[in-house]
Structure 1
Amino acid sequence: MVARVTTVMGWCLCMALCQVKGSYIPADMNRTIQNLLDHYKIPDRERFNGHPIFPRGPSSGDLQAEMIYMSAVLQTYDQLLNQMLQQLPTATPTSASTSTSTSTSLRAQLSYLLKKITALRTQYYRKHEELLKKLQPLGNVQVGGRERRRGRR
């Protein structure tokens, strides 16, 4: 769980701090990211460990390749945020009200980020995501009687 949180918070921090040409990060999103960073209390040593979260994308200048790569990155963050939401404790009548309100606030903030990522994916990367879905089964094609899977060769 800590690795996932570190990954998501690292990306969020990167998005908040790195100015990308032509991009705008709303104040609400900056505030949400800061609140999540404050809540999870990830030490700087772990947050900035010198290893990028994702490998560097295609640098060939091919816009389509970069968009496909970004679509895959957004899809991964979508899955991570969904998993983080599922792992949050659910409110129970016996829970302390402070714990419940913190959990509810955290859920709302994660949902906000998830909504923004999903909107970005559906508005700008729909075609690229469809291509990725078509390419994913190719990783499981049987070659020479052996099934090839991503990560195993």
Structure 2
Amino acid sequence: MVAAVMAVLCLTLCLSEHQVHGTHVTKEMNDTMHKLLQHYHITIKQRFNGGSIFKNTLQGNTEIQMMFLGAVLETYEELIGVMLKQLDTPSPQTANSTNGGTKDGAADSTAGSGANDHIKDKLNIILKYIRELRQLRYHEQGELMQKLRDLQKIKMNDFVVQSKALSELLPLYEAAGTLSDRRRRRRQARAKTRSRFSLQP
């Protein structure tokens, strides 16, 4: 029984993992991802252990969802950058083969370099799509993320910073409260509209 369940699970994973059909995911992206996941292969146990890396548990309006997904796209861009750098760094085995000067070692090094170039090409295809989507649809979210990072750099222990921050608090507090009131009024107006339509015969 357990073996049958695992077989179904593996089949479902293989079908869903490599193919996403939608308006924005192209055939090139699907094919490229399929080849990348063949290289970055992990076991079923590893894939399900600890859950998803990116958990989209946010419930809210479109702006909140776009803020989260904009941050996810930026993180993917950084992640793929790290993966590309790792491919540029020779493994100890490759380095030893190169330094050893043997013909077999040189052949292995060349083959490894060629395989890495192939994976780098695939990663760059995915990176191209991510950057295009961020630039076209998530430009404002990128600016917001930069502002949030700037907030994290504030020197909390600096006396001058503390004084300036206190002097700026009240207008910011008023703006935050006003924005919250506007959002609450919009929600109430939408609720009344829905209620009015539902009561109509």
TM-score, structure 1 normalization:
0.72
Kindly report the root-mean-square deviation, in angstroms, between the aligned alpha carbons of the 2 structures: 2.9
1:4-153 aligned within 5 A: 17=19, 23-49=23-49, 51-60=51-60, 62-89=61-88, 94=106, 96=108, 97-143=110-156
**Distance (Å, rounded) in 2 between the aligned partners of 1:57 and 1:145:** 36
**Distance (Å, rounded) in 1 between the aligned partners of 2:116 and 2:156:** 48
Paired AA for residue 146 in structure 2: K
Percent identity reads 31
User: Are the equivalent residues in 2 in contact too, given 1:16–1:25 (CA < 8 A)?
Assistant: no
**Distance (Å, rounded) in 2 between the aligned partners of 1:66 and 1:15:** 23
Paired AA for residue 44 in structure 2: D
**Distance (Å, rounded) in 2 between the aligned partners of 1:145 and 1:54:** 35
Query: Matched residue pairs, number?
Result: 131
Structure 2: state its 5+ residue gaps.
Answer: 1-14, 99-105, 160-201
**Distance (Å, rounded) in 2 between the aligned partners of 1:122 and 1:14:** 28
User: Are the equivalent residues in 2 in contact too, given 1:57–1:69 (CA < 8 A)?
Assistant: no
TM-score, structure 2 normalization:
0.56
1:47 deviates by 1.6
Q: Which has the higher helix share?
A: 2
Select the structure of larger CA radius of gyration.
2
